[in-house]
Structures are given as C-alpha cells and as structure tokens.
Chains A and B, each alone.
Chain A
Amino acid sequence: MMTQKIHPLLIAGTVLVFMFLVGPLIIVLGAALSDTTYLTFPPQGLSLRWFENIFAIDAFRRTILTSLQIALLSTVIALIIGIPAAYALNRYRIQLPGWLSTLFVLPVLVPELVLGFSLLKNLAVQFNSPIYVALLFGHALLVLPYVVRVISASLASFDFSIEEAAISLGSPPLKTFFTILLPNVRSGVIAAFILAFITSINDVSISIFLTGPGLSTLPIQLLAHMEQFFDPTVASVSVLLMLLTVAVMAIVERTLGLTFLAK
C-alpha cells in the first residue's frame, strides 16, 4: 500500500539499484549468445555454438552429472534427518535442551571454507575416507539448516492435537506421520528441497577442498576453465545455471509464492 509519498530521488536510486542487480546477468546472457571466440558484449552475431561446446567438453558433462547427483543425494539426506529433527524441536521443545537448535545453525556460523578444509584434513586424509563421501556429507551439512528452518516454520502453524487425536484413535506413529503430518508441511518440504538443491549446486567454498583429479563439481570446473580459457563457454554454462534458477523460482512461485523468501 502506498501510505506515504516516496521522494523521487529515492525512486530513481531504486531503479538504479535494480539495473545494477539485473544488468550484469543480462550481459552474461549476451556474451553466451556471441558468435566470436572471445568474450564480448554486445554480441557480434548470434550463435548457440557455445552451448553445444558445453557438451563437447568432457569435463563439463562429467561435472554437471556429479553436481546434480551430489545436490540430489545431499538434499535427500538432509530431508530424511532434518524433518524429524525439526519435528522434535517443535513437538518436544520443553524436553530438549536449548543448545540443540543452535547446533543445527552451526553450519551457517562456521565458515564454509573452514568446514571444507576440516573435512579434507580430518576425514578424507586422516581416515582415508573416499573424497566423494566427504563432499556428499559436507553438502548435506551445508543444506541441513535450510531444511530445519523451513520445516520448523511450516510446523509452527501445525496443530499437534490433530496428530494426537489420530494416535489416540489407534493410528500407528509412522502412518500418522505420512497421512497427517507430512501433507500439512508439504509446501515446506518442497521449499526446503528447492533451497537445499540450489545451494548445493552453486556451492564453491566447501567443494573447492573436496574435489580433485577425477571428482569435481560444476562451479569448481567453471573456475578452473576460466583460469585457462576466457571463452564464451563459461558464459553459456552460466546461462544454463540461470535457467535452472528460473525453473526453481517458477516452482517456488507455484507452491508458496516468492514473497515467502522475503519473510
């Protein structure tokens, strides 16, 4: 609602800020469509050859698959263990110690680089565990806070007495979970899934320590490619990632409304 007049200068400033936010991404899009072998904007002739090039480069094909795999698996792990944790935090708030909810925020507090390095040093090297395991659980940790927070938010409006009614009428706990609780937090689960997935796909700081010869993720491969070649392939991969973002936003919009993200 327009409750107050806003100074025209403030509006002009806001327009500039949004140009600043969207402009660089449009430039990336333009660069990806360029016909030239070097990065340039505005594009000199349009072409989709750099998109074809992504799939011609073996490393990109491989890392796209790895990234999708890691994002999917780590999100599923985080959901399987995060939903019960969020439930416990809300349902048994009084019985559980206060520091427990702080524990689930730790992955946000501890710098990602430190986490990645520590997993490499004290898990992969010291215990000789496969680097894939460290990468997978590193990502599961990274996305766990999103799951716990979003599911907690949707449980906040859930009336636990419905669940108690079902149990007192003889419904077994697992059945109660799947028929009563889960449908009620469905949109929360979808939102948590999406936020977790996109966070994992884009992660650099943990992955940079947990990738190496034979195992790499897309953002790390992008960084490596940029250091060697400065061609529009990076721009076209960036555009693919932006398309993924558009898809994600469309799903969020349909399930929750995007204003949910600004709550």
Chain B
Amino acid sequence: MKRFAGWTLASPATLLVVVFLVLPVLATIVTTFTTPGGPFSTYAAFFGSGFRRTVLWRTIQVSLATTVIALVIGFLTAYVVSRSPGWLKSILIVAAVFPLLTGVVVRSFAWLIILGKNGILNTTLLNLGVIGEPLTMLYTQGAVIIAMVYLFVPLMILTLVGVLEAIPDDLIQASASLGAKPTATFMQVTLPLAVPGLIVGAVLVFTGSFTSYATPQLLGGEQVMMMGTLMYQQAMVVFDWVAASTIAAVMVVITIAIVLLMTRVARRLNPMAV
C-alpha cells in the first residue's frame, strides 16, 4: 500500500523525465549506431577528422584551465568569506550570488564590451600609451577562458563556503592550541577536509565549461570553436544531424564519466562526506 502511494506521487515527475529526457536522449545516441556505414562509422568519422579532434582537445584544454583557475580563486576567496564576520559575509555572499543569478548571455556580453577591439581595456591601454594599436583579445582562447572563469567562480565560491563552514571551529582551534602555525593548520586540517567540496566544485565547473554554448559562441567565434558550438553548427547550420548526434553522444559519455569517476574519488578520500 505504501509502495503504491509512493509510486503514485512520484509517477508524474518520473514520466516527465522518462518521456522528455531519457527516451529522446537515448534515441539520439542510438541513431549514431544505426547509420548505413555500420555501428561505429560515425565515431570513426568524428575521431578521424583532424578538425574535430582539435575541437575536442581544445574543449578539454579550455575546461581544464577554467576548472583549475576557478578552483584556486574560488577556494582562497571562499576561505576568506567563511572566516569573515557575519555582516561582511552576507555582503560577500550577495556579491557572489548576484552574478550567479544573472544569465550567461549578460555575463558573456560584459566581456564582449571589455575585450573588444574598441573595448574598455583597449581604449584604456591606448589612452595610457601602453600600447600603440588595439590588441586582438576577442576570439582567442584566453578570452573564452576569462569569461568562463567569470561564469564559474561564483558557483565555486558558494559551493566551497558551505563546505568550509561545515568544518568545526574546534578542529582549527585544537590545531592552533597544539602549536600549529596558521599555514600548517590550513595545509593539514582545512585543506584535506575541503577536498570533497573541491571535487564537487571541480566537476560542476568542468562539465559546465565542457558543454557550454553561449560563451564560446560570443567570445570565441569560429576561431575558438568548442564541442557545444561545433554541435550547434553541425545541427543548425550544416544540418548534419548524424554528426551532431555523434558530438552529443561524445559529450554525454565524457560528462557522465567525469561525474562517476570524481564521485568515486571523493568517496574514497572521505567515505563519510559523499
């Protein structure tokens, strides 16, 4: 009876996910194996193309760089935020939540104004006489990475503030009263306890960057094409839906593999936390 009640209540949501997500996505992946060329021909075509391999490799590079920079900046900032007095902490959290709730298009657009040929950065540098002519900053890998870091640092800060606040103050005080210097306490107590949170943050940022569309489209253009922009181009510009499905399948497999792998690592490092 109870089992029946539970299923009845959960079934509309289950149905939505199955009908509008599981089945369509599976259908997309299945079509990549049922092409006339044979089950793996689309993948052979994907990995056989030098251009597509470059795009995949570039996407991995950009996502890794974004993750590492966001981890370092996010962790140090979250550390200071979590140790701030109450009123300041509230202000800082508001300052981190605000960009997070502001959409991807707005936040990427901001970097378009800053990094453009006649953008603020170029104008300022020209006026100061630092440079003689405008630098090309847009449509470079660096521009995409900066905008991605901008996108994900707030998420990292908020994730890690929660994790750092969960570390009992007693532990820090115990470490200090036993004679550990602040740096030693940080390295030997705070950092290890924050590792599961760092892993969660890293997964969110990596998968988010890996599958992003708007930021590489606006700041990278054709020159810095990434997996998401390539997939969109194949589907909606070239209308090669088999190629787009293949890219989709590669993105799904890599995303889920990263999530599973990192959850495993987190569980091994700290069986209690995850």
A interface list, Cβ under 8 A from B: 1-7, 10-11, 13-14, 17-18, 20-22, 24-25, 27-28, 31, 38-41, 77, 80-82, 84-85, 87-89, 91-92, 95-96, 100, 103-104, 106-107, 109-115, 117-123, 137-138, 140-141, 144, 148, 198, 201-202, 204-205, 208-209, 219, 222-223, 226, 234-235, 238, 241-242, 245-246, 248-249, 258-259, 261-263
Contact = CB atoms under 8 A, between A and B. Distances in A.
B17 interface: yes
B10 A100 contact: yes
Contact of B97 (A77, A111, A234, A261): A261
B94 A258 contact: yes
Interface in B58-95: 73, 76-77, 79-81, 83-85, 89-90, 92-95
Contacts of A242: 98, 102, 106
A260 to B, nearest CB: 10
B7 interface: yes
B217 interface: yes
Contacts of A110: 21, 25, 252, 255
B12 A84 contact: yes
A8 B206 CA distance: 30
B99 A21 contact: yes
Interface of A, secondary structure class, is helix
A234 B162 CA distance: 35
B104 A204 contact: yes
A95 B17 contact: no
Interface of B: 2-3, 5-10, 12-14, 16-18, 20-25, 27-28, 73, 76-77, 79-81, 83-85, 89-90, 92-99, 101-107, 109-114, 116, 118, 120, 150, 153-154, 158, 161-162, 165, 169, 172-173, 176, 182, 185, 207, 210-214, 217-218, 228, 231-232, 235-236, 241, 244-245, 248, 251-252, 255-256, 259
A96 B251 CA distance: 31
A137 B73 CA distance: 37
A144 B98 CA distance: 22
Contacts of A1: 83, 85, 169
A226 B109 contact: yes
Task: Please name the 8 residue pairs, one residue from A and one from B, whose CB atoms are nearest each other, closest first.
Answer: A92-B6, A202-B103, A24-B110, A111-B211, A85-B13, A118-B24, A88-B9, A84-B9
A122 B153 contact: no
Given A17-B153, A201-B103, A4 B113 contact: no
Nearest to B83: A6
A205 B17 contact: no
A25 B10 contact: no
Contacts of B118: 38, 40
A119 B235 CA distance: 13
5 contacts: A1-B85, A3-B169, A18-B92, A25-B106, A118-B27
A68 to B, nearest CB: 14
B16 to A, nearest CB: 6
A3 B28 contact: no
Contact of B21 (A10, A115, A235, A263): A115
Nearest to A13: B76
A259 B259 CA distance: 27
Contact of A202 (B22, B105, B185): B105
B48 to A, nearest CB: 22
B24 A24 contact: no
Contacts of A248: 101
Contacts of B236: 209
